[in-house]
Structure 1
Amino acid sequence: MRFPRTASNIEHGSAAFRNKSLHYSIVLMLAASAQADTLEQNLARGFVKGYKQNEARLVAIDEELHSLPQPYLREPTGTGGFLTHEQKSSTSEVVLAFSWEKPVELDAVALFPLRLFMDEVYGENLYWPESITIEAEIDGRQNLIAQGTGGQPLIRQSLPELIEFAPVSTRRLTIRCTDLPQHPHEKWHAAGFAEICIFSGANNVAPQASCKASHSRQGYHVLAQEFLTDAQTPLGLPELSSHSKTHPFIKKFGFGHKIVPGSYKLTCTYPREILIDAVRIDPAIEHSYGQSFPVRFTIDLLDAQGQVVQSDTTYETFPMRKPGLNPHFSRFPETKAQAVRLTVYEASQPIPEAAPAIAFSEISAQHKGVESERATLFEERYRGKTIRLVTEDPTDTKAKLALSPANDGLTHSGQVLPLRQWIEGLVRRQQLMEEQMILRQQQGKTVSDIAKTLIYGSLTLLLLVIGSAAFLIVRNRIRMRGEIRSTRARIASDLHDDVGSNLGTIILHVEKLEEQINTAPERKRLKAIYRLTRESVFGLREVLSTTAPEVGRTQNLVAYMDELAGLVLGKTDYTFASGPAIGEALLEQTLRKGILLFYKEALYNAKRHSACSQVEISIRLRDGNIILRIKDNGKGIDQDALKQPRTLRTLKQRADWLHAHLEIESAPGAGTQLILSIPQE
């Protein structure tokens, strides 16, 4: 449909055209890349039932589509069509009534979707009702004769719906529309069609009918009921696409001659008189769609003597609006004539820089929607000059090239088809495209399922390989750990049996020797041997309980600390106190080792360096911390010495290793107190 062209319309249309062109280019690229066979496609051909048959069917569909009419899908052309006023509810009924003076035999109705091209809305299937019923008046009563398919098809592309029914003779046909669609951006509803054709066989009798439409936008320059049957659709020409290059008929006039001086006449003469009820003129693409179509013209039917028998003077004084890509029809009562004459009074000048001209791709005489014979004689008259062309004369090469395109049976892009045949071809195209879409979806799903199966199968195999490798690694590690534990147990058993027994024997011998020796130096040495042996026994048992719990057992650390204080301090008086449940807090091996190393170092420092006579030892739990306190009454440490990094360095290192806080309190003559606070984890 063609609307008044404003700057915003043109800009919007150009952007829409670019977007659609890009979309179609991408689709074509993807379709070309899809031609290469993949592993999944080869597997589908070999193992999936029906896949090869579907491929063959898709090839057959492509071949048939190539032979069918190709609709024009770019910027809509022609008049606007019909659109109702805004309706508040989708349940409103729109009634289209067609009446003829005499009964006509009808057998089909073709409905073209409304295709708008405006600033606020662009759509290919706007306002198509969900429910369409067709009634005919028979013996004074309305009878339902057909219904539309209802709903939206898979593919529309502005393609028509052809509703065929058993032939019925009537003077009145009614089309009722309900379940009206909603505006894309507003809350109102409406129904609309670009064109309605009513067929009696091959003949479209809708233009001869009187049409009344409810809720019509009467008086509008577009979208009113008079455009329902003007034979102008948004799809352009009823033609069959051709790949051969054809030439339109073009006649250019001198600059400044937009008003043709004395008129221009083109006469097409047929070999004999024929029945004519319409003359069709197809526009040519020149500069813009249909813009070089004659502006003011008349069409005459001439008899064998060249006398006018019928005339269409509609546009003799009133200029014709541009038809876009749609043909123009001049309709007449059924008349016998032998020639058609086109007289042009005003030509088009699409752009100021171009010479005024008229251009069309075909002018043909028709009878009941079918083209009659081809013209064999063309005559052009302009400014007193006459050019005649006889098509059978091989010498008229130059004139033939100039005049013969006026009636060579070809439009600017293909062969002229009868209207109903064109519509049937478009309907068949829609059916094939829907079947093609369904088959391609099925084929794509099959290939996708195979691809997923291959991916999941590969992943499963990979996971099995990884799982098997992991299982072997874990099993090997478990076996190695078992061997290590077995070796540890054997070594621990040997240590317990041999070294532990020997250390116990040494302790017994030292105790007997201590009873027999009275000299102080020897008794001192024996005590040192006894202490070291007891420490070795405790250390051995600690190692055994850690590495081989089944051989060694956890020792009582608190009792050993009490015993160790007596062995290390000797004759120095000491007290040892422990809090309740402290033993349960000292089970972790690393903690036991760290506390024991710190404890020994603190006792040795008190014994060797403090010159103390009394040591107080306590270990308790307080506020979630293990508190070890060691206090002596020795000579103490100077404050300046305490600040030196080397002072009590080993004790500080042991505290850091335990992540504990060490507090040192000392003064000359006041002894030293160590408080180690170890947080429980």
Structure 2
Amino acid sequence: MIFTLRLSNAKALVLTLMVLCSGQLALCAAVDLRTGAPLDASAEVALFEIPKRLHELDVLKQEVRSVLEQLPYLNQPLQYEGYGYHGGYFPILDGLIDEPRWTLDFSFNRNILLSQVILVPALDHRANTSESYGFPRRFRVSTIAADGSVNVIQEWIHEDCPDPGRYPLIIDASEPRAYKVRLEVFRGEVSGDREVFALDELYGVMGLSEHPCEHVEASSAYTSLPYWGTEFVIDQKTSLGLPLHVKAENAERPAESDFVVSFESDPEPDCVVELDLGRNRKLGWVALFPAQSPSGMLIPDYGFPGNIRVELVRQTKAGGRADGRMLPREWIDQEPGQNVVAFNGGDLNARWIRIHMGDFPTHNQQQTFALGEINVYRLDTLYPIEAIRLEGFPAEAEADVDLLRDGKVGGHPVLFLLDWLNQLQERKQLKRLLENCTVLGEQLEARWNSFWRILLVDIAVLVSLIAVLFAIIQGVLRRRHSAALRRQVNSDLHDDIGSKVAAISLASAYVERSASEPMVRERGARIRTIAADMHHGLRDVLWLTDAQTDTLDHVMQKLADSVRVSIPAEQLELHATPPGQVPSTPVKLQVKRDLLLFLKEVLHNAASHAHATRIEVEVALVGRTLYLKVKDNGQGFNMKEYESFAPGHHGRRTMRERAQRLNGVLTVDSSTGKGTLVELKVQV
């Protein structure tokens, strides 16, 4: 039987989901409950728990999608008139005023004691949008008791009410219950440089049944018929669409789901669909659901009669029919859109309900009658229709008459309006939960990916550091090994060649002293001189290869010592920077070699070729500049000859080459008979 899936069952689906996924829901609970905006909950999750939480979120999203597939959804709005109430435009105010800008007072039947109030947002039908139009931002909803006392049941005064979109806003009414509702709006929706307030519909709920409002009064209104008007806020026509459930997977095609009759000739003026309830029943509502086109296209008011009247016939005690009684509401030249057309039975007793129809619309050049479903109910009880009889319709229409009581429209099961509205609310909440899950999943994914990126970068940096450290250690070990080898070679050279040179020197000295012939003594002296030179050359080689002397202070000391060895003291005037004033800056082997050999070449030229009696030498460090300066008072030479690199002057060429390798500045100044000045400046 239809309507077996009521609100409690739909909620049970959501509650079951909460029980199954309580951990995941707790994870997604970091949302602003007033605005629905998600907060950054990813920071609350420990890094090592992210994969587990991502899996839980995937499971939760699958469960939510599964539940969403079982919940109804909003249909495409087909509302071409009766958009609702429009309060007009007011200028924007900076602050919140004390008095409302718009006030609406709604009155229901005095027997109605409201438990809920439902606000249906209006839409801007000028644009294809799913957002609400003119829904108030700051407002108060109150109930007014019979004695005139006012009870506030909900208010957004100090903060804006979240935009509900197309979804209705359901507000619970607290005790004491009343049949009047007051809506006070202090701030509407901002539209350009103005504020606007609009509302599609207001419903009242008592128990498990919705009730239409009977009267409404507005403090101000903008009227533009047939679109906007105060009475349209209680006309039971909204942009929400028909209250239908999700179509079952095995549902029949729309063409086979709704009752459709095409008249080949003009129908009778009064066609009747008679419903037999089996016995007298106290009637609440007779609801007519518009049909959907067999083509599946959304055709407004497809086959819906232009004139409808409802007649109630009671069964007498004798089993016969009493006189019929017409319900006060008549449907004349109206368009239902996607709304249920309901006639209030006024709690009258009746067994038969006779629905008189006429003025059928034309479709494909034939007058057509189409209806999706007929429901008869009171409160939350749907009455079964035992039989349906047609009057004024073609005989073949009787074969499909049960489509009027199959509980479906276009293959979609029919729902009570209140059930449908509540399930729409659940859909909205679950969609928000799904969105929050998605946002949280993206945040966790970003954290997890960022962690791996940082970890991989750290690993790469660590591996690089280890490789560099390994290379440094290997270099240090190689240098240590090389230094040890150099020390060993130096020691071997000193011990081996040095001892032999010393033996030669001693032997030559003995020959020089003992020989009687002058020529032999001269040759012995010559050999001793050569041996001494070999000894000094060996010491220079050992100094160059000694890594412990690869510092600037050792170089400066060696240069000064070389000057003292090369020039006799009576001819020498030496100016050298004291060793304590020279830093221990590292010096490359090639620099050591070029500086030493450059100075020895200059000293050799001054001592051997210049025939000088006085040689001034300066070995100085000024800042980071090393100065080597040799000046003699010898015979000098022609600078043109020096610059021409004439054959036989290889020493001058090597001096320039060494100066270039040192990136130094070489200055040579000489003239015949006036001595020579050689100066080298090197940055160290």
**TM-score, with length taken from structure 2:** 0.68
What is the CA-CA distance between 1:597 and the residue it aligns to? 1.8
User: Given that residues 507 and 533 in structure 1 are in contact (C-alpha distance below 8 angstroms), is that contact kept between their aligned partners in structure 2?
Assistant: no
SS at match of 2:73: coil
Aligned to 1:594: 594
Counterpart position of 2:7 = none
Unaligned runs of 5+ in 1: 1-39, 255-259, 349-353
One-letter code aligned to 2:599: Y
Aligned to 2:558: 557
> Counterpart of 1:423 in 2: which secondary structure?
helix
Secondary structure of the structure 1 residue equivalent to 2:183: strand
For the residues of structure 1 that align with 2:169 and 2:157, how far apart are their CA atoms?
9
8 Å CA contact retained: 1:242, 1:414 = yes
Letter in 2 for 1:326: N
Distance in 2 (CA, whole Å) between partners of 1:277 and 1:482 is 104
Change in CA separation of 1:438 and 1:405 when aligned onto 2, cut-off 3 Å? same
| Alignment partner of 1:194 is 2:200 | yes
| Pairing 1:88–2:80 present | no
Work out whether 1:298 is the aligned partner of 2:301: no
CA distance in 1, matches of 2:448, 2:106: 56
Alpha-carbon spacing, 1:225–1:117, altered in 2? closer, same or farther (3 Å): same
Q: Is 1:414 matched with 2:407?
A: no
Counterpart of 2:421 in structure 1 is 423
Q: Given the alignment, which residue of 204, 207, 211 partners 2:210?
A: 204
Give the residue type in structure 1 aligned to 2:356: R
Distance 1:574 1:173 in 2: 125
| Post-superposition CA distance 1:244-300 (Å, at most 9, x none) | 13334456689xxxxx96787653221257646444232525685343536871102
The match for 1:342 among 357, 362, 378 is: 357
Contact 1:135 1:174 survives alignment (8 Å): yes
Change (3 A) 1:542 1:312: same
Contact 1:510/1:530 (8 A) holds in 2: no
The question of 1:584 aligning with 2:582 is answered yes
| 1:453–1:360 distance in 2 versus 1, CA, 3 Å | farther
Instruction: Report if the CA contact (8 A) 1:113-1:160 is conserved.
Output: yes
* Secondary structure, aligned partner of 2:539: helix
For 2:403 and 2:511, locate their aligned partners in 1 and report how far apart those are by CA, in whole Å: 141
The answer as to 2:340 corresponding to 1:327 is yes
- Matched with 1:661 is 665
Listed as ranges, the matches of 1:232-631 within 5 Å are: 232-243=237-248, 244-245=251-252, 246=254, 247-250=257-260, 266-272=271-277, 275=283, 277-284=285-292, 289-293=298-302, 297-302=306-311, 309-310=326-327, 315-316=332-333, 320=334, 323=337, 325-329=338-342, 336=350, 338-344=353-359, 346-347=361-362, 360-368=370-378, 372-374=383-385, 376-377=387-388, 379=390, 381=392, 386-388=393-395, 396=399, 400=400, 405-433=403-431, 522-544=524-546, 546=548, 556-566=557-567, 576-578=573-575, 580=577, 584=582, 588-590=586-588, 591-604=591-604, 618-619=617-618, 620=620, 625-630=625-630
Provide the residue aligned with 1:19 in structure 2.
none
Tell me which amino acid in the other structure corresponds to 2:106. Answer: F
Which amino acid counterpart does residue 424 of structure 1 have in structure 2?
A: N
Q: Secondary structure at the match of 1:111?
A: strand
The amino acid of 1:414's aligned partner reads H
| 1:208-235 C-alpha deviation (Å, 9 max, x unpaired) | 2x11234543447546543322333333
| Residues 497-521 of structure 1 deviation map (CA, whole Å, 9 limit, x = unaligned) | 6666666676677677767786556
What amino acid is the match of 1:315?
Answer: I
- Alpha-carbon spacing, 1:288–1:637, altered in 2? closer, same or farther (3 Å): same
Distance 1:264 1:516, change over 3 A: farther
8 Å Cα contact 2:635-2:674 kept in structure 1: yes
Q: Find the counterpart in structure 2 of residue 69 from structure 1.
A: 72
CA distance in 1, matches of 2:336, 2:660: 97
Task: Check the 8 A contact 1:298/1:312 in 2, yes or no.
Answer: no
Per-residue deviation, 1:562: 1.9
User: In structure 1, the residue corresponding to 2:395 is in which secondary structure?
Assistant: strand
Distance 2:131 2:491 in 1: 91
Contact 1:374 1:408 in 2 (8 A): no
* Alpha-carbon distance between aligned partners in 1 of 2:662 and 2:630, rounded to the nearest angstrom: 17
Give, as a single letter, the amino acid of the residue that structure 2 aligns with 1:97. Answer: D
Q: Distance in 1 between matches of 2:508 and 2:220?
A: 126
Change (3 A) 1:584 1:334: same
Task: Return the offset for 1:340.
Answer: 1.0
2:504–2:528 Cα contact (<8 Å) kept: no
CA 1:143–1:616 in 2, change beyond 3 Å: closer, same or farther? same
Residues 102-113 of structure 1: pairs in structure 2 closer than 5 A? 102-113=110-121
Measured in 2, the distance between the counterparts of 1:677 and 1:515 equals 46
- What do residues 98-129 of structure 1 show as CA deviations (whole Å, max 9, x unaligned)? 12464422222122344446559762587354
Stretches of structure 2 lacking an aligned partner (at least 5 in a row): 1-44, 314-320
Q: CA deviation at 1:414?
A: 0.9
Give the length in aligned residue pairs.
599
CA contact (8 A) 1:113 1:128 kept: no
Of the three residues 650, 653, 660, the one matched with 2:654 is 650
| 3-state SS of 2:657 partner | helix
Segment drifting more, 327-336 vs 461-470: 461-470
What's 2:16 paired with?
A: none
Q: SS at 1:228's partner residue? A: helix
Q: Does 533-542 or 667-676 show the bigger shift?
A: 667-676
When residues 301 and 326 of structure 1 are mapped into structure 2, their CA distance, relative to the original with a 3 A threshold, is closer
> 8 Å contact 1:625–1:677 — kept in the other structure?
yes
What displacement does 1:412 show? 1.9
Shift of the 249–664 alpha-carbon distance from structure 1 to 2, 3 Å rule, reads farther
Aligned to 2:23: none
2:106 aligned to which of 79, 90, 98: 98
**Contact 1:297-1:315 at 8 Å conserved across structures:** yes
Aligned residue identity for 2:239: P
Code of the aligned partner of 2:332: Y
TM-score (norm 1): 0.68
Residue in 2 that maps onto 1:35: none
Structure 1 letter corresponding to 2:83: G
Deviation of residue 198 (structure 1)? 0.4
CA, structure 1 residues 478+452, in 2 after alignment: closer, same or farther (shift >3 Å)?
same
Q: Is the 8 A contact 1:409 1:416 kept in 2?
A: yes
Structure 2 Cα separation of the partners of residues 443 and 597 of structure 1: 74
Q: Kindly indicate whether the alpha-carbon contact (under 8 Å) linking 1:290 and 1:322 is maintained by their aligned counterparts in 2.
A: no
Contact 2:636–2:671 under 8 Å retained in 1: no
Aligned residue identity for 1:268: V
Which SS does the other structure have where 1:205 is aligned?
strand
Q: 1:289 to 1:375 in 2, by over 3 A?
A: farther
- For 1:300, the aligned partner's letter is R
Q: Shift in Å at residue 574 of structure 1? A: 6.2
- Counterpart of 1:327, as a letter, is V
C-alpha displacement of 1:525? 4.5
Alignment CA distance shift 1:483-1:233 (3 Å): farther
**Secondary structure, aligned partner of 1:138:** coil
Identity, % of aligned positions: 15
* Pairing 1:631-642 to 2, within 5 Å after superposition: 633-638=635-640, 642=644
